[in-house]
Amino acid sequence: MTLKNAHKNKLTKVGRILMLTLAISMLWIAAGPSNDANAKTTRIKDIVDIEGVRENMLIGYGLVVGLNGTGDSINNSPFTQQSLVAMLERLGVSVKGQNLNTGNVAAVMVTATLPPFKNQGSRIDVSVSALGDAESLNGGTLLVTPLLAADGEVYAVAQGAVNISGFSAEGESATFIRNIPTAGLIPSGAIVEREIDFDLDTFKSVRLSLKNPDFTTSRRIERAINGFLSNSMAEAENNASVRLNLPKDYDGSIVDLITDIEQLPIQPDQPARVVIDERSGVIVMGADVRISTVAIAQGNLTISITEAPQVSQANPFSPLGETEVVQRTEINVSSGEDMEIGILETGVTLQDLVTGMNRMGVSPRDTITILQAIKAAGALQASIETL
């Protein structure tokens, strides 16, 4: 091989390596931002509700029968006895003046949610909850129970076997209860008897209600829809709603338009907020929470008192000795002298704040106090909401 050919082959090999490196780099660059963008965006359908497309709450009162002695005590639950007597009389059985003493019946409240556009004859799930002093609904069957809406009309009728996830076991000196045995579910236990009239396809405009109101998010939804339709058919009315108008040249109904725009990706925006539940010690902080430069000193005075009583006995065969209990008390005091002052620089993020507090050994309860103190000092650039 000549020197010229060797030099040419060497350049060819170097060129292939450079091309391969460039191709890998382009693939990495193309994949990186795309995945990051998908992680930050969400669909319009996940952050808005359509005005008028809503659920309706149903409620009813009924009886569960077939319980193995775990039902209501008739003497302690007069409403159960009255309901049982009324039901038997409707069925042609007269029990007036009779002393009813059965533990196989329980009065219950039946609740359900009627989804929008549910057709007559379709089925929905119902929840059953004991109203009296029943111990368990295990093995019970709900009798026919009308379910009413807020207008007093019957929209569904429920009946069926009650499924519960809890149970109870009781002995002479101990009782064991798992979950809630007095509440259960009847899957597809109610039949829809009345439809709610709502002709969405005849509308010329609808409002999109934001689940988390925000002006920036509302504006982004408007721009995404108008950019998709190439027309100004969406208008952000305020931070909670966006008006969507059906274009005159659109080949379809408002339902078709909603179907087209609900898949558009949106990057929601929320104000910086810290939510604190002082009862349980739960702290939830948004990603945009920022803290100005502040120094934090956290130390606790801990006093631990331990009682260890000991029994002192006399020597064997001693005529004067007595057995006595001698108290032994140990007191330990920790003033938290090993704790240091922590400094948080300007623009500290949520991750920096949590990492710094964890390194300082701050408990969730102390974190609540620290956050409130930082807010009082004007260094917390977020609102605090206490539950």
pLDDT, one tens digit per residue, over 148-181 is 999 999 999 999 999 987 666 666 556 666 678 8
Mean pLDDT of 282-299: 72
Mean pLDDT of 22-33: 39
Q: Average pLDDT, whole number, for the chain?
A: 77
Residue 257 pLDDT more than 60?
A: yes
Alpha-carbon distance of 383 to 204, in angstroms, equals 39
Residue 46 pLDDT more than 50?
A: yes
Cα Dmax for the chain: 121
More confident residue, 372 or 30: 372
More confident residue, 151 or 377: 151
> Model-level pTM?
0.64
Q: What is the percent of the chain with per-residue pLDDT over 70, rounded to a whole number?
A: 69
Residue 282 pLDDT more than 70?
A: yes
Residue 317 pLDDT more than 80?
A: no
Mean pLDDT of 61-89: 87
